[in-house]
Amino acid sequence: MPTTETEFLHEVAAGEYKYGWETNVEADTIPKGLDEDVVRLISAKKDEPEWLLAWRLRAWRHWEKLAANPEEKYPRWPHLKYTEPDFRNITYYSSPSKKPRYESLDEVDEDLLETFKRLGIPLAEQEKLAGVAVDAVLDSVSVHTTFKEELAEQGIIFCSFGEAVQEHPELVQKYMGSVVPYTDNFYAALNAAVFSDGSFCYIPKGVRCPMELSTYFRINQAGTGQFERTLIIAEEGSYVSYLEGCTAPMRDENQLHAAVVEIVAEAHAEVKYSTIQNWYPGDNEGRGGVFNFVTKRGICKGDHAKISWTQLETGSAITWKYPSVILKGDRSVGEFYSVAFTKGRQQADTGTKMVHLGKNTKSTIISKGISGGRSNNSYRGLVKINKGAENARNFSQCDSMLLGDRCGAHTFPYIEIKNPSAQVEHEATTSKIGEDQMFYCFQRGIGEEAAIKLIVNGFCKEILAKLPMEFAVEAQKLLDIELEGSVG
């Protein structure tokens, strides 16, 4: 393609980031650096019980051990190239207030409310999003959670992680680290040692959560890492749909985001977890951007439990993320639906792990990767069928689309089967956005930008359709903006 189409695709791939502004708010930021004192300081600032500090310290010692051993230190297998973060040069706690916790919305700084409003997340009582409860997290602290009281009437607990530690310590202590132990990996250990906040959600037995629950994460302070934990517990026969969104200001240096998400689904419970990830991806030369090293895992503990991960990944300089499901209960179901869009110099290595333990368990993986600019987009997925997983079934489909000729798409499927009754199917395709398709659109009077949007949206359609309705619209808008040559 020697022509304008190629140039256009390059322009598309060079589109700008819309959420790059920062909020000027007085912050309580601890000095840079990481040692045991920092771990203790964070715990003290959050006024944590002794058992939690002890847990953090165990994680800290484990992390120190990993960090001292260059072979174990970082995961080496991802298809990613980057300079390892300097952990001494990061701030591990920053709160947009002298207080570690807001008692009510009146205490929240106007600028902060404005920040979330500008991001499309109004927190004020009269402006709250209908049908969606939001927990808004800025840097290390949850700013506000909407609809908390309404949800409490049904016994649903939805609050910041810090609050849960204070108000529901027995639940936190029981489940925290039960799905992702701090020994799981390097970043999971780091998170366990220094995590500052996040969201907590508990759905009691038999309750169907009447609204979408959502956490919105934003990194604001320069040089600050964000380490949040999310814990979702769905008791027997309950249902919840959960959404996570994220953005960050444009900065020249890389910012570290190392989160942990744990989901526990008891028998007949269903958890739908959707992510729209839009961290700052860095500029077109690869300067700045968020390093997104995230461990997300759910366990279908009881029979007939179901966990679905749906994600639209458009941001981050580096994405390293494999939302997984452990299918322990018989007839439990795990699903992973993903659209990952990379442009500029972004690199994504993302996929899932489906671990079948129970009988008649079933998993579905559909991954769509779109790469533009000079980006690299990899799918990496593991399907593991254990010995006792009689009649387990998996279907995987990984499709990649290339915009232009300077980007890359890769697929790394791993399959381990220890039970002969398993049925595992894997399909993969890679296509270049077709000149024929583009020309067909042109010939009907549809211009280049609109044509690319149409074709890419068509490619992702089955995934976007899995998102909750309000967010499917958001997701499509985001994808359109990402595809635009220039953004106002």
Partner 1 sequence: MLQINNLHARIEEQNILKGVDLTVSAGEVHAIMGPNGSGKSTLASVLAGREEFEVTDGNVLYQGQDLLEMEPDERALEGVFLAFQYPVELPGVSMNNFLRQALNQQREYRGEEPLSAGAFLKRMKACAALVDLDPQLMSRAVNDGFSGGEKKRNEIFQLAMLEPRLAIMDETDSGLDIDALRTVADGVNALRRNDRSFVVITHYQRLLDYIIPDTVHVMVDGRIVRSGGKELALDLEKKGYDWIREETVAV
**Nearest distance in Å: CB 331, partner 1:** 31
Residue found under tokens 């849960």: 164
Judged by beta carbon, residue 209 or residue 441, the one nearer partner 1 is 441
CB-side neighbour CA atoms (13 Å) of 459: 29
Residue 402 makes CB contacts below 8 A (sequence gap 6+) with 371, 372, 408, 409, 430, 431, 432, 433
**Nearest distance in Å: CB 481, partner 1:** 18
Number of Cβ atoms within 10 Å of the Cβ of 69: 9
Judged by beta carbon, residue 184 or residue 462, the one nearer partner 1 is 462
**Nearest distance in Å: CB 335, partner 1:** 19
Residue found under tokens 């910012």: 255
Question: In whole angstroms, what is the distance from residue 441 CA to residue 1 CA?
Answer: 17
Reduced to 3 states, what is the DSSP secondary structure of residue 238?
Answer: coil
Using left for φ > 0, alpha for ψ between -120 and 50, and beta otherwise, residue 452 falls in alpha
**Nearest distance in Å: CB 477, partner 1:** 16
Closest CA to 370 of 413, 400, 411: 400
* CB 427 within 8 Å of CB 396: yes
Judged by beta carbon, residue 178 or residue 437, the one nearer partner 1 is 437
Question: In whole angstroms, what is the distance from residue 307 CA to residue 263 CA?
Answer: 8
Judged by beta carbon, residue 99 or residue 461, the one nearer partner 1 is 461
Judged by beta carbon, residue 8 or residue 55, the one nearer partner 1 is 8
**Nearest distance in Å: CB 463, partner 1:** 10
**Nearest distance in Å: CB 436, partner 1:** 5
Judged by beta carbon, residue 244 or residue 482, the one nearer partner 1 is 482
Residue ranges binding partner 1 (CB under 8 A): 3-5, 434-437, 439-448, 450, 454-455, 457-462
Judged by beta carbon, residue 206 or residue 458, the one nearer partner 1 is 458
Q: How is residue 61 annotated by DSSP? A: H
Rounded to 5°, the CA angle 476-22-88 comes to 105
φ and ψ at 123, to 5 degrees?
-105, -20
**Nearest distance in Å: CB 324, partner 1:** 27
Question: In whole angstroms, what is the distance from residue 256 CA to residue 263 CA?
Answer: 23
Question: In whole angstroms, what is the distance from residue 404 CA to residue 438 CA?
Answer: 12
Judged by beta carbon, residue 7 or residue 167, the one nearer partner 1 is 7
**Nearest distance in Å: CB 388, partner 1:** 39
Strand-pair partners of 142: 137
**Nearest distance in Å: CB 108, partner 1:** 42
Question: In whole angstroms, what is the distance from residue 431 CA to residue 439 CA?
Answer: 16
* CB 376 within 8 Å of CB 347: yes
